[in-house]
C-alpha cells in the first residue's frame, strides 16, 4: 500500500512540474511575441531604404550607440562588403531575448540558393525599435 501511495504522489508531482514548465514556456513565448512587435516592419523599411539607395535613411534606423561606434562610412563599407544586390529574398528566424535586447537572425537568399545570415540586435528607443548591431553570421 505504501509503495502505491508513493508512486501516486510521485506521478502527481511529476505532472505538476510538467504543467509548471509548460506554463512558463507559454508565458515566455507570449512575452517574446509581444515584445518583438514592430521589428519586422522596421526590418522591411531598413532594406527598402538600402534598395532605394537611401543609405543615410537606413543609417538613421540604427541606435545612437551604433552610430557612435560605427561611422557612416564604415556602415557604407559594411553594406558594400555584403553585396546585397545579389539577394532577392529575406527569411526571418525566431527572435531571442538577451539582456533586454532582441536578436533576430535574418537570412538573405539569392536566386542561386546562396544564403547570407545576419544577426540583427534591436533595442527599443522610446516607442520605436532601432538596430543596435549587425553581424554577419559565420555558417
CATH number where 56 lies:
3.10.450.100
- What is the pLDDT averaged over residues 22-40? 70
Residues 6 and 60 in one domain: no
How many independent structural domains does the chain possess?
Answer: 2
Phi, psi of 111, rounded to the nearest 5 degrees: -65, -30
Residues 101 and 51 in one domain: yes
Query: Please, what is the average pLDDT of the chain?
Result: 86
Q: What is the pLDDT of residues 79-113, one digit of tens each?
A: 999 988 888 888 888 888 888 888 999 999 988 88
pTM of this prediction exceeds 0.85: no
What is the structure's pLDDT at 75? 96
Residues 60 and 108 in one domain: yes
Whole-angstrom distance, CA of residue 4 vs CA of residue 55: 70
Question: Given pLDDT bands bounded at 50, 70 and 90, which one contains residue 117?
Answer: very high
* 118: containing domain: 38-136
Residues 13 and 43 in one domain: no
| pLDDT exceeds 80 at position 130 | yes
The three three-digit cell numbers of residue 48, written as one number: 527598402
Residues 57 and 99 in one domain: yes
CA nearest neighbour of 139 among 121, 111, 120, 116 = 116
Amino acid at each position: 500500500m505504501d509503495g502505491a501511495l508513493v508512486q501516486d504522489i510521485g506521478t502527481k508531482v511529476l505532472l505538476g512540474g510538467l504543467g509548471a514548465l509548460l506554463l512558463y514556456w507559454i508565458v515566455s513565448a507570449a512575452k517574446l511575441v509581444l515584445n518583438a512587435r514592430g521589428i519586422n516592419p522596421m526590418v522591411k523599411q531598413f532594406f527598402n531604404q538600402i534598395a532605394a539607395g537611401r543609405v543615410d535613411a537606413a543609417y538613421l534606423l540604427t541606435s545612437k550607440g551604433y552610430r557612435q561606434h560605427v561611422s557612416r562610412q564604415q556602415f557604407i563599407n559594411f553594406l558594400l562588403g555584403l553585396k546585397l544586390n545579389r539577394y532577392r529574398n529575406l527569411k526571418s528566424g525566431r527572435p531571442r531575448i538577451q539582456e533586454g535586447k532582441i536578436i533576430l537572425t535574418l537570412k538573405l537568399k539569392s536566386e542561386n540558393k546562396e544564403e547570407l545570415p545576419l544577426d540583427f540586435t534591436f533595442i527599443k528607443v522610446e516607442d520605436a525599435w532601432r538596430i543596435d548591431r549587425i553581424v554577419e553570421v559565420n555558417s
